[in-house]
């Protein structure tokens, strides 16, 4: 699946709705962006919550 999009003057890009739906992400979700072998890669992030004693730790982990 591929789509064409344009960068705004601020360097922002619109991700087509079908790609968002396929990844299961939407407004407010975090994503992981990386460069791999000269390509820009965007991955969905899963939020992991760990409770230790009375402390709660939240970590965003890329979904591979």
pLDDT at 45: 82
pLDDT at 47: 73
Question: Tell me: the pLDDT tens digits for 26-53?
Answer: 888 888 889 999 998 888 887 776 666 6
Please state, in angstroms and as integers, the Cα–Cα distance from residue 28 to each residue in 2, 20, 24, 38, 45, following that order. 23, 12, 12, 27, 11
pLDDT surpassing 60 at residue 58? no
Domain ranges of the chain: 28-62
Question: Tell me: the pLDDT tens digits for 1-29?
Answer: 788 899 999 999 999 999 889 888 888 88
Longest dimension (CA), the chain: 48
Q: What are residue 53's phi and psi, to 5 degrees?
A: 55, -120
């Amino acid at each position: 699946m591929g789509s064409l999009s344009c960068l705004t003057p601020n360097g922002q890009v619109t991700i087509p709705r079908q790609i968002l739906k396929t990844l299961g992400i939407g407004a407010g979700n975090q994503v992981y962006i990386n460069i791999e072998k000269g390509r820009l890669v965007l991955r969905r992030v899963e939020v992991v919550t760990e409770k230790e004693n009375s402390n709660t730790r939240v970590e965003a982990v890329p979904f591979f």
